[in-house]
Structure formats: structure tokens, C-alpha cells
Amino acid sequence: MKLKILNILTVSMVTLAVLAPGIIVFNLVWQRHIELVKTQNLSCQITNINQDSEFLSLQQQSINIPQSPVKNKLSPHNFYAQLKTIVKQYKILTICKWLVLSIPILIGFAVIAYDRYLIYRAAVFKAQVEMLERLWKQSIEQ
């Protein structure tokens, strides 16, 4: 049973080591794509805000009625709230990415360390058995 688990973990570690460069490159490309999409969304929102402000200025000049301050405050608030949620999602995704990459590596190291511990314990047990056999032979000879 231990041999099967060790073989499975060895194969998974080798597979991860082979695929890791591809995963890293894909991750970099994906991050650049996400940044591009964010900047495109921000530029669209900025142009919408600029168009709205031009429309409002034309409307204020023609009507001479003051605009309510509540509407002006809501759009930047929504914009900043959206930015905060995007940043939080990005941090969560980064943490998840590192967990996905590090957990198999840590499990592999734990299995290797446990295997080395079992080898050490077997060597200590063998040394103790040999010492007891020598003591037993000495007590028989006397």
C-alpha cells in the first residue's frame, strides 16, 4: 500500500515538474490578458463618465438647474467599489494559485521525509536487535 502511494506521488511530482514551466507561462499570459481586459473596462467607464459629464454640462448650461450631488457621488462610489472587488478577487486567485502549486509539493516532501524516517527507525531497530543478540550470546557463553 505504501509503495503504491509512493509511486503515485512520485509520478505526480514528476508530472508537476514537467508541466510547471507551461503552467507558469500560461499564468503570465493569463495575468496580462486580465490586466488588458481591466484597462479596457476602465477606459470604457472613463469614456462613459466623460460623455455623461459633457452631457450634464450641456444640460446645466441650457436649463440652469443645479444637478443633485447624490448622482455625482454614486457613480464614483460604484466605480471604486468595483475596483475593490476586482482587487480582492485577484488576491484570492493568487492565493489559490499558490496553494494549488504548493500543496502537491509539500505532500511529496512529507512522504519522502516519512519514508526517510521509517528507514532511520528500521536501522535503529536493527542495531538494537544486534546488540541484544550479542548480549544474549555473551550470557549463554558465561
71-119 pLDDT tens trace: 444 455 676 777 777 777 778 777 877 887 788 788 888 888 998 999 9
pTM more than 0.95:
no
| Main-chain phi, psi angles of 68, to 5 degrees | -70, 135
Tell which wins on pLDDT, 2 or 114.
Answer: 114
Give the contacts of 66 (CB within 8 A, at least 6 positions apart): 60
* Positions of E strands within the chain: none
Grid cell for residue 108: 511529496
Range name among 45-49, 70-74, 83-87, 128-132 with the lowest pLDDT average: 70-74
Structurally, the chain folds into a number of domains equal to 1
Percent of the chain with pLDDT over 90: 15
Grid-cell match 544486534, residue found: 130
Which residues span the domain enclosing 17? 2-141
Grade residue 52 by pLDDT with cuts at 50, 70 and 90.
Answer: low
Grid cell for residue 34: 486580465
Alpha carbons within 13 angstroms on the beta-carbon side of residue 108 total: 16
